[in-house]
Amino acid sequence: MKPYVFAAAPSQPGAAPVLGAWHRRPGFEVPAGACDCHVHVFGPRERYPLAADRSFSPGIASVADLLAMHDRIGIERVVVIQASPQGTDNSGVVDALVELRRLGRQARAVAVVAPDASNALLGSLHAAGVRGLRVNLQSYGQTDPALAAARMRACAGQAATMNGHVQTYTTLPVIAALQDTIRQLPVPLVVDHFGLADPALGAQQPGLDALLALVAEGRVWVKLSAPYRLVEHTDGHDGRWLARALIDACPEHMLWGTDWPHTGPWPGRLRELVGEEPFHPVDDGAQLDIFANWTTVAERQQILVDNPQRLYDFALAADSAEEQVSSRGRAPWPQSVA
């Protein structure tokens, strides 16, 4: 795990911390309609209980916290991702979509469902604004290619009924082992967090060539998300070659995301399973500036706005009648900004 980039104090007058982190305003003009394609929300445990097989227990990160961070850094659209501690209960994500739309934000989501999920459930998730299904291998230490291929195919079949895509969190060697499977999927595949490539290992690291080939073929999209996890320098120059290799392979299939609210292990500390594991105080304005250091103005428009608009169906109005989810009987999403 690379050192985390964070700000210990406000950088501008009027700044305020969100969940203990300071977020500076980016040093470039963020284009209108910019989308953060990878965030999580974690509600109160009594309302949204965590999965029994979780590997950690995150703190609370509400819709209000998310919007406070996004308002600070200039993000207007968002994709909420079902995180591993939430298991296959997507109620927190669905409720977050309702609340985000109530507050006038365009929002989509990626869910996690059981292998036997019914078509009725998949249809209701699509109506709620879910546009993808996630296969999370890395959080559970799953690296067996046969298991990964089986899960990918099954999830792709479910996503096809929703006219959606599959998203996966896994490593380059697993991606390389699944090349033939990926090429045969009936839906697009989105790869989280640079495919966990490591800039320090160079262009010859195992599996990177396979990922770049799949991207160039138009089979795979990649999230240039959570750069703080892979760079050692606060301006991100050590990760530039990797970002450029992916962008140059197929700029039309690149996405960006913060990975807010920044879960992850702390050095010398066991993962928290019972209480609340603190979030890392990552400056997401700094993360946007790193992305800007890797890209041109035209590429920022494409990756922050145009690509997510196409993949997540933002071209349809977020408040259109067919995608509204009734909030009758549901209390508003709990509000907290700390």
What is the chain's percent helix, strand, coil content, to nearest 5?
40, 15, 45
Within 10 Å of residue 257's Cβ, how many Cβ atoms? 25
Select from 267, 309, 258, 307 the least CA-distant residue to 287: 258
Single-letter amino acid, residue 83: A
Helix 63-73 and helix 284-294, axial crossing angle in degrees, nearest 10: 50
Residues in the chain: 338
Give the whole-angstrom CA distance, residue 20 versus residue 279.
Answer: 8
Q: Is 259 a known active-site residue?
A: yes
Given 259, 283, 284, 289, the catalytic residue: 259
Answer for the pair 101, 324: CB distance below 8 angstroms, yes or no: yes
Contacts of 1 (CB under 8 A, 6+ apart): 229, 264, 265, 267
Half-sphere exposure of 205 (CA within 13 A, CB side): 18
What would the DSSP string read from start to end of 103-129? TT-EEEEEE---TT--HHHHHHHHHHT
Q: Which residues are catalytic?
A: 259
